[in-house]
Amino acid sequence: MDALGRIDLNLLVTLQALLAEKHVTRAALRLHKSQPAVSHSLAQLRAHFNDPLLVRRGGQMTLTAHAEALKQPLDDALTSLNGLLSAPDFDPALERRRFRLSLSDYSSRIVLPPLVRHIRRNACGMDLAISQATRETMLAQLIDGELDLALGIFPEVPEGVRVQDLFSERFVCLADKAALPEKGDLSLTDWLQRPHVTLAMRPDATDEIERTLASLGLHRRLAVALPHWGAAVDLLAGTDLVLTVASRAVGPMRRHKTLRKFNPPLELPKFSYQQAWHVRREPDRAHRWLREAVFTCMQALP
C-alpha cells in the first residue's frame, strides 16, 4: 500500500496506454492527451520504475523486459479498479459522443439507414462522422486511433484489431439483357472474354474475385475500375460490360429494367461482411453499445 501511495494512479493509466501502443503519439491519441503531456508522464514513470520502459531499436519503439513484465498485472489491476469505480448503469440516451466510422458507399446504403434510425430512437446524442478508405488504410487508422469503427471485409487483421461478422454475402453478375444470350447466361469462356467493371478504392487493388481467378490460372479484362458501387450498376445499360458484385449492392431489379442478374459461371467464395475495432475501445461502454447496435441492425436484414 505504501508503494501505491507514492504514485499518481493517472500515471498507471498512461503506462497502460504506452505499453499497449509502444508509441507516444498513439498513446496520446488513445488517452485524448497532448503528446508533450504523455512524454512528461513517461519521464515520471521511468524515474519511478528506474527503467527506460520504451527504447528505440531498429527504427521503432520496443518494450524493455521490465515493461513486458508489467503489462499483464497492470491490465488486470486497472480492469478490476475500473469495474469497482464504474457507474452501475449505462444509459445511451444520456450519452454525448461523436464516433468516427469508415465504410464504402455499398455499406453506407445497407448499414447506415437502419443504424441511424436506431441511434435516433435510442441515443440521439450520439453523432456519426463517416469516411471512406481502402481496407489497409482503415486498419491503419484503427491502430492509430483515427477511427472508432470500420466496416468491410477483413480476411487478415493486425494484432490488437478485433472483428465481428455481420452478415454473409455472395457474388452475382449483372449485364445488359441485349448483350446476353436470349436463353441462358454467359459461359465461363464468354464471361472471361467480356470487358468487366471492378469495384476498388485503388485501380490496381486485388479483390476476392481476382484471387480466385489467379488460383485457377484465369484472367479477365478490367475495362473500368472505380470505387463507387452505386455508379457501377448505371454503367452497364447499352454496353457489353459485365459487373460481378456483392448481391446486396444491386438492390431491387425493378430499378434496372434493361439489366439481367445471373450467377457467375465459376464458383466464387461467399464472404462475411464485418465490423472491426481496436482492442483499446473494448472497455468503452458507449463504443460497445454502438457495436451492438450495428450488429443488431444487420441481423434484422432480410
List of domains in the chain: 2-85 (1.10.10.10), 92-168+272-299 (3.40.190.10), 171-269 (3.40.190.10)
Asked if residues 212 and 266 have their Cβ atoms less than 8 Å apart, the reply is yes
Q: Which cell numbers in the block locate residue 146?
A: 483515427
Q: What is the pLDDT of residues 122-175, one digit of tens each?
A: 999 999 999 999 889 999 999 888 899 999 989 889 988 999 999 999 999 999
Residue 182: band (very low, low, confident or very high) from pLDDT cuts 50, 70, 90: confident
What's the one-letter identity of residue 36? P
- Cβ(9)–Cβ(3) under 8 Å? no
| pTM score | 0.68
CB 277, CB 142: distance < 8 Å: yes
Using pLDDT thresholds of 50, 70 and 90, give the confidence band for residue 1: very low
- 141 alpha-carbon distance from chain centroid: 9
Radius of gyration, alpha carbons of the chain: 24
* Higher-confidence position of 178 and 184: 178
Q: What is the pLDDT of residues 105-126, one digit of tens each?
A: 888 888 999 999 999 999 999 9
